[in-house]
Structure formats: structure tokens, C-alpha cells
A and B are shown apart, each in its own frame.
Chain A
Amino acid sequence: MMQIIVQGLLLSGLYALIAMGFMLIFSIGRTLNLAYGAYIMVGGYIYFWLSQQLGMPKIVGFAGAVMVGALMGFLKHRLIVKPLKGDAVAVEISTLILAIIMQSVMVLVFGDASKILLPIIPGVVTVAGAQVTFNILAATVMSWIIIAALYAFVRGTHIGRAMQAVSMDEKGAAISGVDPDKINMITWAISGALGAAGGVFFASYTQLSPQMWVAPVIISIAIVIVGGIGSIIGTLIVAHIIGFLEVSIVALWAPELRGVFTMLLIIGVLVMRPQGLFGREEH
């Protein structure tokens, strides 16, 4: 039982981090950014390349992954999203194509085989009778620090509040003297950085492979939609529902059914309550 609670908390923190970056983009442009998975994948690979293939310090690898993620987000906004001028279908399709392109770039550079990341921090600790590696514990703690920082940023700073304003009403924000274009750009960059950071932890939790981006992107989209658009708290709650659901099924029933119930939950909620469980009404 303790094992489930501890494992559930750890996995949920990771999911929450991954979902946050997606939530920013989705709430600001209602864009189903399928290339978000590419940030996760590229983040993991950049970290692997810098820290394990080049032997640099882990913090450099992490910083490199975050910077590349931010750059990808920035470039994507400039080169793809902005020229398409808010055509949602076109953005969805072009981001899907982009995600596949990034996947093949990773195959081209690193090969098709899965890679195991060395633990970020080696060692095992026993928490309330449950075995927890320092690695996943560190990932969770970092996730929570990043989420808290993001919350403070969105709520407390001028740019953060401008982001909220643009997500609610872009025209209204523009009238109040916010430059939506600049805010969009910043949001895309932050989203890329968050995705890449999440990717490093996610890769160390599972493993690194060119196909690794599909499941986390579906999970993060689902967390955001089920949690309600633009709600950080809703995102956190649903990340925990899905995290605990998966851990319980692995522990109590059958590990291979892990993803099945997540998908069923997503489909069920989307069909019953498309506005999500905690979201504001869309009009």
C-alpha cells in the first residue's frame, strides 16, 4: 500500500511537469501541439548526448536540454505557428509532421535502438517501506520545484499575468497594451524548455527511444483537457489521478494493462465532459 502511494506520488509529479508545458501552449492558442512530444524526446536525447556520450557534468547536460527545448519552441512559433495564423487544423497537421521529422532526426543521429539513461543521482532510499531510487526521487523534487516556480511566474510576474490575459482574450490583452505576439513567443519558448526538462526525467524513468514521445504527449494532452484548460491546479489533480491509476494497476493487477486504463479514462472524460473536470466554460 505504501509502495503504491509513494510510487504514485513520484510518477504523478513527473506527469504534472510534462503536462504543464503543454498546458501553457494549449491555453494560449488552443493549439493541439503534437510536436510537444518532440521536445520531450529531444530533451532526453540532448541530455544523453552531453552527459553520457561527451561526459560533461549532468547539470550541463540538463541545461543544454532545456536550452535546446526553448530554442525549438521559439523556432516553431516563428516558422510554423505564426505563418499559419491560427488555423488550428493546419497547426495540428504541421506539428504532427514536425514530430515525425524530429523522430527521424533522432534515429539518424542516435540510431533506432533504445538507450538506457544512467541515473541522474545513483542510489536507493527506503521511504515508508517502499524502495525508491534517488533518481526518481530527484526527478520528482525537481518537477515540483519547476512547477512551483512556474506557478509563481504565471501568478506573480508581469509577463506571467500577460500570458494569462492573452490566453483569456487575445484582443482584449492587445488593447490593454500587451503585445500578444511577444507573449506567444515567450510562452512557446517556456513550453519547449519545460518539455525538454520533463523529457530528461521521463527518459530516466523509462528509457530513451525514438518512439518514446507518443505516449507522454497523449497523456499530457489528456491531463490538460481533463483537468480543464488554463487551470494549473486542475492539471496537478488530474496528473495525480492518472499517476495513481497507473501505479495501482501495475501493482495490483497487470503491468501490461498500464496504458489501457489511462486511454479509457481519457476517452471517457472527453466524451462525457469535453470541457474537462475543472476548467472554465468555453464559449
Chain B
Amino acid sequence: MRTLDLRPHHLVLWAAFIALMLLMPLMVGNGTLRTMIFACYLAMFAISWDILSGRTGYLSFGHPFLIGIGAYTTGILTRRYGIPVEASIPIAVLVTMAGGLIILLPALRIKGSYFALVTLAVMELMLQLVPVIRPDLTGGTRGISRLPALTRGAENGYYLAAGLMLAVALFAWLLMRTRLGTALWAIGMNEESVRGSGLSTTRLKSFAFLVSAGIAGLAGAFYAHYLGSITPRSFFDINILFQIIVAVLIGGAGTIIGPIIGAFFMVFLLEWLRPYMPGTERFFVYGSIALVLYMYQPKGIMAIVDTIVSKMKGSRA
């Protein structure tokens, strides 16, 4: 426990957060719960993106690719081969991690903008490839529908999504408190000096990729079962990427709670805008807010909160 440097207030905050999330169904209606389910899944995607890109500074524009692999694997296995979900979801996670290795290989050689471009190209490749290759399995552009549902009703769906998100968040939080998390941070700061201090950055990056891909695959697979149907456009799309990245950035990259706050903020903002703007034009308002926030404070809401808190403390002292 000492290496993790856990303090009592950490446990209290986590307990409060978990209790708040699990008590939600008693406080809000089913409509709001459905919105929160989406927010939970987006939060998981955002945490997955943040472990890789928020820490190491390797911008992945290909996360929809990983999420899509997870979703398609479980979709194909359950619908085309009749494999039960208990087996198909773990397989989906493993397949996604293998897919993560495919993007990992270029990342070991190239940096910065080039890495971002390769991952973007991989996503676009999948968007074009999936409808064409074996349409009997992938269902072509129409995708796969009637995936077996894991839960019935908004309340159970919410407990599943929130439970998963809490587990993922707690896991990521603990992981980032180990020396490994520190090393990943250091890669984002200065990769050469990490290598200079005798650590294998290749192994560190590979690890970050595998964890990130595993979480993306897990969340993607459960999300597919929640939605019940998958199409290439609904996964390998730049709008999904945009939502993930903005959720992380609005909340605050490099933190665990930040991406969760960002995801909830974004999903609820889109929901509130729905009565006024039913289509994708909601992204205009959303994107503008994101851009202004990002230009004002690139470290996100978490940093703004920190500044306010320290100012209040300062004025009291």
C-alpha cells in the first residue's frame, strides 16, 4: 500500500463518488438515466484515450478503431457464431488488444503528428474496409443488429454501465499511482530523458497501448450490447473521436476524474440542446464551447477548479 501512497481522504472521496453514482437511480428519472448510461460509456472511452494520449503525449486519432474492433468482435461472435456473451466479450477484449498492437508497431518508430496521422488513417481504413470485407460477417454498411441484450430496463443498464465505469476508473487510478504511471507521465514530458534514465520506453509505451486498447475493447463490447446494433458509421467515425478527445480535454487530460467530468458534461450538454437543435448541428454549440474552454485553459475544468480552490484558500489565509 505504501507504494501507492493511499491516504484516508482518497478512500473517502472514492467511497462518496461510488455511492453517488450508485444512488443515482433513486434520484433521477429513467430518461436521465439513459443519458447517464451514454455518459458512462463515453467516460470509459475517454479514460482509455487518456491513459495513452493524455499521459504519453502520443495523440491517438484512432481510438474509434479500437472501440469498433471490440464492438464488432462481440457482435460477430454472438450473432454469427452463436457464442454466448460470457465468452465473446473477453475474446473481444483480447482481439482489441491485438488490434492495439497493430497501431503500436508504427508508434515505436514515429512520433508526434506522424503518429496521429497513422492512427487517423487506420480508422479511415477500417471505415472503408469493414463494409467490404466479408459482408456476410460484418453486415456491410448496414452493420449487425439484434445483438443480445445484457440487461433489461434503464435502471439495470445504468448499474452495469456505472459499475463498469467505476471499476475502470478505479483500476486506472490505481495504475497511474504506481511507478509505471509516473513513467508514462515522464514520457509525455521528455521521452529522451526517460530513455536516458535507463527505462525501456518501448516497453512502457507497449504497456500503455495494451491497457488503453483493453479498456477500449471492453467498453466498446459492452456498449455494442447496450445499443443492440452496430454499423461502420456509428463506430469508425470522426465525430466519435471528437467526442472522446473533447471529453478528455474539457475535463482535464492526465487525470482520472477529469475525463469522467468531461464525458458527463458533454453528454448532458448535447441532451439539453436536443429540443432546440435535433441534428448534428448541436456539435456547433458544443464545439464552440469546447474550443473556447480549450483556448482559455488547455488543462480543462479540473485545472480551472484547482485555480479557484487555491484562490479561495489563498484569500482565507
A: residues with CB less than 8 A from B are 30, 32, 80, 83-84, 87-90, 92-94, 96-98, 100-101, 103-105, 107-108, 112, 210-211, 214-215, 218, 221-222, 225, 254, 256-260, 263-264, 266-267, 270-271, 274
Q: How far is the CA of A238 from the CA of B280 in the complex (A)?
A: 35
**Using Cβ atoms and an 8 Å threshold, which residues of chain B touch A214?**
124, 238
Q: How far is the CA of A87 from the CA of B295 in the complex (A)?
A: 12
Complex contact B245–A96 (CB within 8 A): yes
Stretch binding the partner chain, chosen from B7-15, B82-90, B153-161, B285-293: B285-293
Interface residue tally for chain B (C-beta within 8 Å): 43
**Using Cβ atoms and an 8 Å threshold, which residues of chain B touch A260?**
125, 128-129, 132
**Using Cβ atoms and an 8 Å threshold, which residues of chain A touch B120?**
218
Closest B-chain residue to A105, C-beta based? B284
Complex contact B116–A32 (CB within 8 A): yes
Known contacts A259-B124, A266-B121, A270-B106; A80 and B245 CB within 8 A of each other: no
Nearest chain A CB to B17 CB, angstrom units? 27
**Using Cβ atoms and an 8 Å threshold, which residues of chain A touch B287?**
97-98, 100-101, 104
Known contacts A101-B287, A256-B132, A267-B118; A218 and B124 CB within 8 A of each other: yes
**Using Cβ atoms and an 8 Å threshold, which residues of chain A touch B116?**
32, 92
**Interchain residue pairs with CB less than 8 A apart (9):** A83-B295, A89-B59, A96-B241, A97-B242, A97-B294, A107-B280, A218-B121, A218-B124, A267-B121
Nearest chain B CB to A6 CB, angstrom units? 25
Nearest chain A CB to B297 CB, angstrom units? 11
Interface residues of B in 228-252 (CB under 8 A from A): 238-239, 241-242, 245-246, 249
Q: How far is the CA of A274 from the CA of B113 in the complex (A)?
A: 11
Give how many A-B residue pairs fall within 8 Å (CB-CB): 122
Closest A-chain residue to B106, C-beta based? A271
Complex contact A270–B118 (CB within 8 A): yes
Known contacts A97-B242, A100-B283, A104-B287; A32 and B121 CB within 8 A of each other: no
Q: How far is the CA of A88 from the CA of B111 in the complex (A)?
A: 12
Given A112-B280, A266-B118, 9 additional A-B pairs, CB 8 A: A30-B113, A100-B239, A100-B283, A100-B287, A101-B288, A103-B283, A107-B284, A260-B129, A274-B114
- The residue among B110, B121, B291 with the most chain A CB atoms within 10 A of its own CB is B121
Q: How far is the CA of A227 from the CA of B291 in the complex (A)?
A: 32
Closest A-chain residue to B287, C-beta based? A101
Which of B117, B291, B295 is the one whose CB lies under 8 Å from A270?
A: B117
Complex contact A93–B245 (CB within 8 A): yes
Mark each residue of chain B from 256 to 295: 1 if its CB lies under 8 Å from any CB of chain A, else 0: 0000000000000000000001011111100110110011
Closest B-chain residue to A214, C-beta based? B238
Nearest chain B CB to A281 CB, angstrom units? 15
Query: Is B298 an interface residue when CB atoms closer than 8 A count as contact?
Result: yes
**Using Cβ atoms and an 8 Å threshold, which residues of chain B touch A218?**
117, 120-121, 124
Complex contact A88–B112 (CB within 8 A): yes
Complex contact A263–B245 (CB within 8 A): no
Complex contact B290–A97 (CB within 8 A): yes
Nearest chain A CB to B239 CB, angstrom units? 7
Q: Which 10 A-B pairs have the closest CB atoms?
A: A104-B284, A101-B287, A263-B125, A108-B281, A104-B283, A32-B113, A271-B106, A259-B128, A274-B110, A97-B291
Which of A89, A101, A270 is the one whose CB lies under 8 Å from B284?
A: A101
Which of B109, B249, B279 is the one whose CB lies under 8 Å from A271?
A: B109
**Using Cβ atoms and an 8 Å threshold, which residues of chain A touch B132?**
254, 256-257, 260
Query: Is B199 an interface residue when CB atoms closer than 8 A count as contact?
Result: no
Query: Is B176 an interface residue when CB atoms closer than 8 A count as contact?
Result: no
Closest B-chain residue to A87, C-beta based? B298
Query: Is B57 an interface residue when CB atoms closer than 8 A count as contact?
Result: yes
